[in-house]
Structure 1
Amino acid sequence: MAESTKKLTWDLMILQEMAAQMGDYLNSEALFWPLGHREMPMLTLGGFWLRQHRLNSLQTLLTKDQQTELSEATDLYETAVADWVVRVEQRANTELETRIRQWHEYLRDVRAGNSADIAAYPTQVENRAIMAALVNALQERPYLLDDALAAKISLQDKGLRARWQSGPFVWPEEWQPAYPEPEFWWLYGRPK
C-alpha cells in the first residue's frame, strides 16, 4: 500500500507540473514537451489524461490536501485548454497515432519471442493505457476521435488477444478500481 500511495503522490506532482505548463505546451508545436525535471516524463495530453483518470478514480487513497491539489490542477488544465479545442483535438490524435506505432513496435518485439520484452510488459503497457486515455478523451465533446486510429487499435488488440495469457493485475493492486478488467483487459495478464 505504501508503494502505491507513493506512486499516486508522484502522479499528482507530475499532473500538477503538466497542468502548470499546459498553456505553453499547447502554444508550441511539440508533441512531447520536457517538463524541466529529468525524473519526470514528457508532457503530453495522453500522459496528463492517464494520470487524471487514475487520480480521480482513486481519490479515496489521497489525503484531503492532495484531493484539493488535484482539483486545482484540473481547474488549471481546463483554463489552459479552454481556447484550444481544435489544437487539443489535433494534438491528441497525433499523439494517439504515435503511441499506436510505438505499441505496434513493442508487440512486434514480443512476437519475436524476446523474453526481456515480455518481462517489461508491466512498464510497456503504460503506452496502451495512455492510448485508452486518449481514446476516452477524444470520444467526449467537443473532440472527435479519428476512426482510422480506433480501427488500428482494435486490430492491435485482436492480435494481442490471440497471444494473451490471463493473469493478475500488472500494476499495484490498489490501482485496480481505476482499471476494471472488462475495459482494461490488457492489464490483467501478459502476452505469451
Structure 2
Amino acid sequence: MTEMLKRDVEYLKASPSELEAYLLSHDIIRQLPDFSFSAGGILLAYKRLESASLINEQVEANWKEIQTIRDHWKTAWATKCHQEYKMRLRQWGDFILGFASDKNEPSTAFRHQVRNRVIMHLLDSSNPAITAEFAESIQRKDKILDKYSVENDFVWEKEVQPGFPREDYWYLYRVMRYEKDGK
C-alpha cells in the first residue's frame, strides 16, 4: 500500500469523530494536525480506497458512520459541499490560468492540483443540485486545460486507476503540452 493510500485510510478513520463538529462549524476546510479535513476530502479518500480495492471491515465501518452523520446533518453537508466546490473551483481556475501562461509549471504541481478537479467531480456526483450553478465555469476551465495539455498516462498511483476511468476523469490522463513536447 502506498503512503498516499495509507493516508486515505487514516483520513477515513479520523472522519467520524471530526465530521459533526466540522459540519456545524464555519470552516470550509478544517486544519487537523495530520491533514486538511473537508467533505470533498472524505469523498476522495473513500473513492481512492474503493478504487484500489482496499475497502475492509474497518474502512466500511468508518464509511457507515460517516454516512449516518451525513444523513443526520443533510443541510449542513450540502452547504459544506457547495462552499467547498466554489472554493476548489477558484483554486483550480487560478492554477489553470497560471499554467496556461507559465511554461515552467512542473507536472508534479499538476498532479497535486488536479486533486481539486477530482474533488469537484465527486462533490458534483454526491449532490449535483448544489453545483449546477458552476457548470459553465468548470467547462471553460476544462477547455483551457484541454488546450494546454495532451493525453498521457494516469497521473496518480496505478492502484487507484481502475476507479478513475478515462472517460469520466479525463483530466487525470493529461500532461502539460510543453512537457510532452520537451521529451
Same fold (TM over 0.5): yes
Residue 190 (str. 1) matches residue 175 (str. 2): yes
Aligned to 1:18: 15
Supply the AA of the counterpart residue of 1:130.
I
Q: Secondary structure at the match of 1:116?
A: coil
Taking the aligned partners of 2:119 and 2:35, their CA distance within structure 1 comes to 13
Equivalent position SS for 1:146: helix
- Structure 1 residue 30 and structure 2 residue 27: aligned? yes
Secondary structure in 1 matching 2:130: coil
Corresponding residue for 1:95? Answer: 84
Aligned residue in 2 for 1:126: 115
Query: Cα–Cα, structure 1 residues 159 and 7, in superposed 2: closer, same or farther, change >3 Å?
Result: same
- 1:145 match: secondary structure: helix
Q: Out of 143, 153, 156, which is 1:171 matched to?
A: 156
Matched, 1:146 2:146: no
- The residue number in structure 2 matching 1:50 is 44
State the Cα deviation string for residues 41-71 of structure 1 (Å, max 9, x = none): 2111011111111112322xx3xxx611111
Match of 1:157 in 2: 142
The unaligned stretches of length 5 or more in structure 1 are: none
Match of 2:70 in 1: 81
- The runs of at least 4 consecutive aligned structure 1 residues that moved more than 3 Å come to 116-119
The amino acid of 2:99's aligned partner reads V
CA 1:146–1:187 in structure 2 vs 1: closer, same or farther (change >3 Å)?
Answer: closer
| Contact kept in structure 1, 2:51 and 2:159, CA below 8 Å | no
Q: Distance in 1 between matches of 2:176 and 2:60?
A: 37
CA deviation after TM superposition for structure 1 residue 32, in Å:
1.0
Deviation of the 1:18 alpha carbon = 2.0
The sequence identity of aligned pairs, in percent, is 25
Amino acid at match of 2:144: G
Structure 2, unmatched stretches of 5+, are 178-183
Q: How many residues align?
A: 177
Name the CA distance, whole Å, in 2 between partners of 1:145 and 1:20: 26
Letter in 2 for 1:9: K
Query: Is residue 168–residue 188 contact of structure 1 (8 Å, CA) maintained in 2?
Result: yes
Relative to the length of structure 2, the TM-score reads 0.89
Matched position secondary structure for 1:29: coil
Q: Please give the root-mean-square deviation of Cα atoms over the aligned residues, in Å.
A: 1.6
The alignment's TM-score, normalised by the length of structure 1, stands at 0.85
C-alpha separation in 1, matches of 2:8 and 2:72: 26
In structure 1, give the amino acid aligned to 2:64: D
